[in-house]
Amino acid sequence: MNYRLKDRRKSPPNGILYEQRQTGWRNWLIDPSSVWDFYLTCRLLQEHRKANPRFGLPTDMAKIEAEVDHANAQRVAAIPGAADEFLIAVNESVGVPPSSLGLSGKLAAAVQALKRVNAGRTMLLDWEKAGYPQAPQEQAEARAERCVDCKKNGQGDFTTWFTEPAAEHIKNQIERLKEINLSTLKDDLLGTCSVCLCPLRLKMHPPTEFVLKYLDDTIKAELSEVRTQSGKNCWVIDELNENSAAS
């Protein structure tokens, strides 16, 4: 039995979730607010597909809406008691590829990813509101050296990782750092951390307490497994350990 959403304007449990398996694109990472907006998710997905024509994915909005609807309807159908409120059963095949989001593990991963995006954003906003207090320059340079040597240093324009408004805000923050002479010798080689989803040019400068304040157990565990190409730990974990030893 196939299903479709009863009302696309009403978000089902855990919201609207869609992963483009061919590219790794996930709406909850690109724009957390899209989780609660079916049509925003579809627009963002259309933009992503048009920017990646080599995969030959449909860009027609009607087809995209059908795919996103199908993926979420099949996921919600597996949630006890949710079908009656959020879904309509349909007998015909909707003609869209199966989604990988039907697995509970994928859903849990989506929720965790959404949390870390929000945590990183909150940390940077709090740092901005505090007037950009800075770590010693020597510490910032050491952090940058570690990140440049790390495979988790994700490359690509900020729009690869964030929505255009978020990417624009990040660019403005970086320009602000230039104005107050906050930079490292490795800035041109710093991208976005694929674990914590923080723009690394910004994360080099906040004092340790700002960085650790938003370090939850999930991110901590993942960063603890990270090793740079020269075999060193993530600097965040080293600073966490040093902070714990000093307290």
User: Is residue 229 within 8 Å of 150, Cβ to Cβ?
Assistant: yes
Q: Which pLDDT belongs to residue 102?
A: 40
Q: Which two tokens stand for residue 205?
A: 């400068």
- What's this model's pTM, rounded to 2 decimal places? 0.56
Residues in CB range of 134: below 8 A, 6 or more apart: 140, 182, 205, 206, 207
Rounded to an integer, what distance in angstroms lies between the CA atom of residue 227 and that of residue 207? 22
Stretches where the chain sits below pLDDT 50 are 93-104, 106-107
C-alpha distances in angstroms, 7 versus 69, 72, 85, 154?
Answer: 10, 12, 10, 37
As a whole number of angstroms, the distance between CA 162 and CA 27 comes to: 10
**Per-domain residue ranges of the chain:** 2-101, 105-246
pLDDT tens for residues 94-132? 444 444 444 345 445 555 555 665 677 778 778 888 888
195-219 pLDDT tens trace: 888 889 999 999 999 889 888 888 8
* pLDDT in the model for residue 83: 84
In 3D space, the residue among 136, 137, 138, 236 whose CA is nearest the CA of residue 193 turns out to be 236
CA atoms within 13 A on the CB side of 52: 17
